[in-house]
Structure 1
Amino acid sequence: MKAIVCKDWGPPDNLEVQDLPDLVPGPGQAVVDVRAAGVNFPDVLTVQGKYQVRPPLPFTPGNEFAGVVRALGEGVSGLAVGDRVIGFTQTGAFAEQVLAPAAVLMPMPPGMDFATAAAITLTYGTSHHAVVDRARLQAGETMLVLGAAGGVGLAAIEIGKALGARVIAAASSAEKLDVCRAHGADVLIDYTREDLREALKAATGGKGPDVIYDPVGGPYSEPALRSIAYRGRHLVVGFAAGDIPKLPWNLMLLKSASVVGVFWGDFARREPQANLAAMREMLGWMAQGKLKPLVSKRYALAETAQALNDMAARKVTGKVVIVP
């Protein structure tokens, strides 16, 4: 089988396509023929050795996928060879085959295509964990989404609307904001052209957002936090801007606000049943048309480095996938 291999930490251009032996499942494992694999910002950090988790070298990056069960290990029940499944694993998805614990595989809903199925695990899982579990967003509250046109941002918008909240989308261009509007955002802010604090003041009548969904970091976190409502919750999801902000603690004191960390991967590992329940809830919302994952581009396996470079350069709207 062909697979992307990271032999040493460095830029995506260092990745190689290699021919590797076919995978063999051990007890409790499954091998899946990958039909599509989702690309996420943590993949960019992982191949550079900058992510929280550093897999042993060499390794195949990529962790969310959709495909067809190829082989099953001893003791696996509830799955059969030929089943169409959605899965998540620590590494290995950017390949023609992936090895995963059978327990993390879920059946694909009827009628869903592989690219869409590969685009929901991390982004929608992260946003559901953030918005529903960590922020406890309530109907009638207002949520600000920074970096709103990215994969997790669009997922957060849709989940916020599914919960009955008012959603303010902030992004870096009119084109990106058009996508946010199409996914349900109520208010649009271009933070390259508008003062974020003034725009939030106008959008909320001076009250500020109850929840801030922040996968960006960098220069936008502090003005957003300064605008937060009383008892607001600022969700720390990631740092796509590259810089980890240093926030004055007095801002939280003055508003009785909370800064809340969001690490979906560890949540999925520590609380697998809660994670599966969240995925089932979201698949139900998808069936109702409340969640509509956007796959904006597909890359061949040999184009994986380009996909990661586009992600790093913030050229991606919604999700992009690798199609082996």
Structure 2
Amino acid sequence: MFDEFGGPDVLHVVEEPAVEPAVGEVRVRIEAFAVNPLDQMMRSGASPAPVPLPHARLGVEGTGVIDALGPGTNGLKIGDPVILTAVPDASTRGSYAEYVTLSASRVVARPAGLGITEAAAVWVAYSTAYGALVEKARMRPGDHVLVTAASGGVGRAALQIARQIGAVPIALTRHTARTDELLAAGAAAVIATDQGDVVEAARHHTGGTGADIVLDMVMGPGQQDLLKAARPGGTLVTAGFLDPRPTPFPGGTPLTIFSYRSFEHTLDADAVKRMAAFLNAGLRLGALRPAIDKVFALDDVVEAHRHLEKGLHAGKKIVVAV
């Protein structure tokens, strides 16, 4: 929990009794959870949504085993391994805990063959990338897809998902040194902003037409180049806000522009079924696999947040084992 906004040191472990699940809820004994940039924003007071203090909690993803069933819960049983699909009230029942109670509709079966560490880190990145590219932008085989912040968790997931669909993922990164790593992660080509012009390079890698879909995880003034890197009639999906600077309004552009937030689909039961089916297929085929950086213990959650803030994870997922 944390009682004030600030750096990693505001986090502290507290002992509380486990809450009994209400009607339609399950209680999950958490085995591991991932640390996300949203957690850092909530903790520091920079979250786009209000976080009530004191006694605020963190955590929007994790994995564990169903420990108790509330009245009227069907289709699940105690002992089932599951993944959390949405924690919209993370400040009150986040996954940074030994036990979490939430609606039974907010869990899906943990994919067979997926280890606990990877299962803790797979849902947020892959559901966000899938929702933005497939559900929102209607990505199709053969589409050229320009992915910004490609070294991050969602960016890496987007590269793999595009490849699984049969699209052509083009990674955009700030550093040329990331080129080999991103090609290995699934990119068909890499554009590094420290080496060349984004618009010119995007035209080069798309045969002169421009990208069919641009996934913007950054926002800020740099979005103007992304608008020019897309083909006329293409699609821009904004799904992140890594650049805190103002983003000029993209008026007069011949593009379809969507703003995407993951809860748009992770709170939709039918969309979650499609996401889970796609994820399971990709994991079975080996096309999808989260990149894990480091695993911390629950008592070391402060150090895990320091690791995130220093950028030592290099875009890979930080996991905390409970």
Distance change (3 Å), C-alpha of 1:106 and 1:311: same
Listed one character per residue, the Cα deviations across residues 87-123 of structure 1 (whole Å, up to 9, x for unaligned) are 1323220112212212211111222111111112111
1:197 to 199, 202, 205: 199
* C-alpha displacement of 1:287: 1.0
Show structure 1 runs of 5+ residues with no match: none
TM-superposed CA distance for 1:322, in Å, is 1.6
Residue among 37, 42, 58 paired with 2:38: 42
- After TM superposition, the structure 1 = structure 2 runs for residues 1-324 of structure 1, keeping only pairs within 5 Å, are 5-57=1-53, 58-88=55-85, 89-90=87-88, 91=90, 92-250=94-252, 252=253, 256-269=254-267, 271-316=268-313, 317-324=315-322
Aligned residue identity for 2:154: V
1:78 Cα offset (Å): 1.9
Q: Distance in 2 between matches of 1:298 and 1:21?
A: 26
Read off the aligned partner of 1:44 and give its amino acid letter. Q
Q: Deviations over 1:118-150 (max 9, x none)?
A: 112111111111000111112111010111011
Please report how far the alpha carbon of residue 173 of structure 1 lies from its aligned counterpart in structure 2 after TM superposition: 2.8
Q: State the percentage of identical aligned residues.
A: 30
Residues 246 and 320 (structure 1 numbering): CA distance in 2 closer, same or farther, change over 3 Å?
A: same
Deviates more, 1:219-228 or 1:156-165: 219-228
Query: SS at 1:30's partner residue?
Result: strand
Give a deviation string over 1:223-261, Cα, whole Å, max 9, x none: 1112210111111011113334214413x1xxx212211
Per-residue CA distance 1:152-192 (angstroms, 9 max, x = gap): 00111111111111111012334533332112111012222
Provide the rounded CA distance (Å) in 1 between the counterparts of 2:188 and 2:12: 43
Contact 2:220–2:246 (8 Å) recurs in 1: yes
Q: Distance in 2 between matches of 1:248 and 1:30?
A: 44
The separation in 2 between residues aligned to 1:233 and 1:314, in whole angstroms, is 30
Once structures 1 and 2 are overlaid, which stretch shifts more, 299-308 or 21-30? 299-308
Deviation at residue 49 of structure 1 after TM alignment: 3.3
**More displaced 10-residue stretch of structure 1: 303-312 or 103-112:** 303-312
Provide TM-score, normalisation by structure 2: 0.91
- Do 2:176 and 2:195's aligned partners in 1 also have CA atoms closer than 8 Å? no
Q: Deviations over 1:37-58 (max 9, x none)?
A: 1222211222233323324332
Note if contact 2:108-2:276 (Cα within 8 Å) is conserved in structure 1.
no
Once residues 8 and 303 of structure 1 are traced to their aligned partners in structure 2, the CA distance between those partners, rounded to angstroms, is 19
Cα distance change of structure 1 residues 266 and 49 upon mapping to structure 2, 3 Å threshold: farther
Cα shift readout 1:281-317 (whole Å, capped 9, x = no counterpart): 2211211122122112212223333433443454432
Q: Which amino acid aligns with 1:260?
A: F
Answer with 171-180 or 92-101: which moved more.
171-180
When residues 266 and 10 of structure 1 are mapped into structure 2, their CA distance, relative to the original with a 3 A threshold, is: farther
Q: 1:307 to 1:177 in 2, by over 3 A?
A: farther
CA distance in 1: counterparts of 2:148 and 2:75, whole angstroms: 40
Alignment partners' CA distance in 1, 2:173 and 2:240? 15
CA distance 1:309–1:237, change in 2 (3 Å)? farther
Matched position secondary structure for 2:302: helix
What is the one-letter code of the residue matched to 1:66?
T
**Judging changes above 3 Å, is the alpha-carbon distance between structure 1 residues 129 and 16 closer, same or farther for their aligned structure 2 residues?**
same
1:219 is displaced (CA, Å) by 4.2
Please say if residues 220 and 245 of structure 2, whose CA atoms lie closer than 8 Å, have aligned partners that are also in contact: yes
Distance in 1 of aligned mates of 2:307 and 2:245 = 18
**RMSD of aligned alpha carbons:** 1.9
Give the secondary-structure state (helix, strand or coil) at the position aligned to 1:210: strand
> Is the Cα contact below 8 Å between 2:221 and 2:248 reproduced in 1?
no
**1:268 counterpart letter in structure 2:** T
SS at match of 1:229: strand
- Cα distance in 2, alignment partners of residues 312 and 219 from structure 1: 23
Letter in 1 for 2:22: G
Unaligned runs of 5+ in 2: none
Instruction: Say if 2:159 and 2:171, in contact at 8 Å, map to a contact too.
Output: yes
